[in-house]
Amino acid sequence: MEKKRIITGDRTTGQLHLGHLVGSLQNRVRLQREYETFILLADVQALTTHYQNPGQMKESIYQVAIGNLAAGLDPEKVTLIQQSRVPSIAELTVLYSMLVSVNVLRHNPTVKTEAKQCGYGDLTYGFLGYPVSQAADITFCSADLVPVGDDQLPHMEIARKLARRFNELYANGDELIRVPRALLSETPRLPGLDGSCKMGKSLGNAVYLSDDADAVNRKIHSAVTDTNRIAVRDKGNPDVCTVYAYHRAFNAGERADICEMCCGAQIGCVACKTRLAEKLNTLLDPMRERRAYYERRRDEVRGFILEGSEKATRIGNEIMARARAAMRLEI
């Protein structure tokens, strides 16, 4: 039986961090065996917020590609795709843009949250419309499933509606454009070092997968804990502690122990952080090795991206030819 196809991706805005690792990378590493896996380096989507600094774009594209490979994605198995190299993504975006109202986009909760975070009182057309472009990312290759976090569900809804609408209008309801399904990541979102609800590149509260052992140590020791716990003899509340959230995500073996000791004031925050940093460094070490390997072989990485993007272009062109014919654009 043919494998189902999945597509997922990252905006190319810089380094990947621990939030990506628990939220998506670890999941992708598992999924690559079972599914035909497409990984999108979403450089066009990165432009929605980073169009003013083109100087960093190339490096970010490599960082996201190498980050995925370092996490354990196998370049023999997965297809790495640079979004801007695939013409059918841009073409489908334009065609889909006729089928979605501005109000639907304006009320998209993820667009709203991000617009607020970025301080955009006056949204660009590209930013407001990026869920339409994301629908093209997903459907140009007839992906069956899209592994995502819950923040992406509103975009999935738009993608599904666009695919259905297209099929109704132009294909007599046949599934010319495959209606994709979300494969929701179960893991809870990782908080930032500052205790804020999300670890984020732009928020300055991240442990990067590229950080060395010293940096990880230093950052973990700077993390916010239970702010009510002032002295070591105070009992702690792991439920409100960022460091405990990390233990929960990365230290399954010790977490129950640590929870008990913290609640009983038998371990201090410094010792607890030291244990976490050790655990994290053990987890990150093999990734650091793979990163170093690919850093020395950027030409090879470039080759993977070009080859993957060409394959994606061929697949997308086929869908586009059918879409054009269905829309009676062929003369």
Q: Which is nearer to ligand TRP, 37 or 45 (CB)?
A: 45
Alpha-carbon dihedral sign for residues 171, 175, 178, 184: positive
- Closest CB to ligand TRP belongs to which residue? 42
CB nearer to ligand TRP: pick between 40 and 305: 40
Amino acid symbol at 248? R
Please give the backbone phi and psi of residue 77, each rounded to the nearest 5 degrees, phi first. Answer: -100, -45
Contacting ligand TRP (CB under 6 A), which of 16, 31, 41, 42? 42
Q: If binding is defined by CB under 6 A, does position 88 make contact with ligand TRP?
A: no
The candidate with the shortest Cα–Cα distance to 323, out of 167, 149, 187, is 167
Judged by CB under 6 A, which of 25, 40, 176, 326 binds ligand TRP? 40
DSSP state of 193: T
Residue 162 is a binding residue for ligand TRP (CB under 6 A): no
Minimum CB–partner distance for residue 228 and ligand TRP (Å): 34
Please identify, among the stretches 4-12, 51-59, 72-80, 203-211, the one whose residues bind ligand TRP according to the rule CB under 6 A. Answer: 4-12
Of 37 and 210, nearer to ligand TRP (C-beta) is: 37
Number of residues that bind ligand TRP (CB under 6 A): 14
For residue 280, give both structure tokens: 């994290």
Q: Rule CB under 6 A: is residue 134 a binding residue for ligand TRP?
A: yes
d(CA 152, CA 114): 12
State which residue, 86 or 272, has the beta carbon closest to ligand TRP.
Answer: 86
For residue 192, how far is the Cα from the chain centroid? 16
CA dist., res. 144 & res. 148, Å (int):
13
Q: How far is the CB of 16 from ligand TRP (least distance, A)?
A: 11
List of residues 6+ apart from 105 with CB closer than 8 A: 111, 128, 129, 131, 132, 158
Of 26-34, 40-48, 121-129, 184-192, the segment contacting ligand TRP by CB under 6 A is 40-48
Radius of gyration of the chain (CA): 22
Q: List phi, psi (to 5°) of 30.
A: -70, -45
Residue 253: count other Cβ atoms within 10 Å of its Cβ.
10
Q: Is 45 in the site for ligand TRP (CB under 6 A)?
A: yes
Q: Least distance from C-beta 141 to ligand TRP, angstroms?
A: 10
Residue 44 makes contact with ligand TRP by CB under 6 A:
no
Contact string (CB under 6 A) for ligand TRP, positions 142-161, x = contact:
----x-x---x---------
Under the criterion CB under 6 A, does residue 22 sit at the interface with ligand TRP?
Answer: no
Which amino acid appears at position 201 of this protein? K
First-last CA distance in the chain: 38
Cβ–Cβ < 8 Å for 23, 150 = no
- Minimum CB–partner distance for residue 162 and ligand TRP (Å): 13
Minimum CB distance to ligand TRP, residue 281 (Å): 26
Q: Using CA atoms, how far apart are residues 93 and 109, in angstroms rounded to an integer? A: 20
Should residue 11 be labelled a site residue for ligand TRP when binding is judged by CB under 6 A?
yes
- The nearer residue to ligand TRP, 113 or 228, going by C-beta atoms, is 113
Helix (H) or strand (E) holding 13: none
Question: How far apart, in whole angstroms, are the C-alpha atoms of residue 68 and residue 66?
Answer: 5
Near ligand TRP by CB under 6 A, which window of 130-138, 206-214, 229-237, 249-257?
A: 130-138
Minimal distance, residue 203 CB to ligand TRP, in Å: 14
* Residues within the interface to ligand TRP (CB under 6 A): 7-11, 40, 42, 45, 134, 137-138, 146, 148, 152
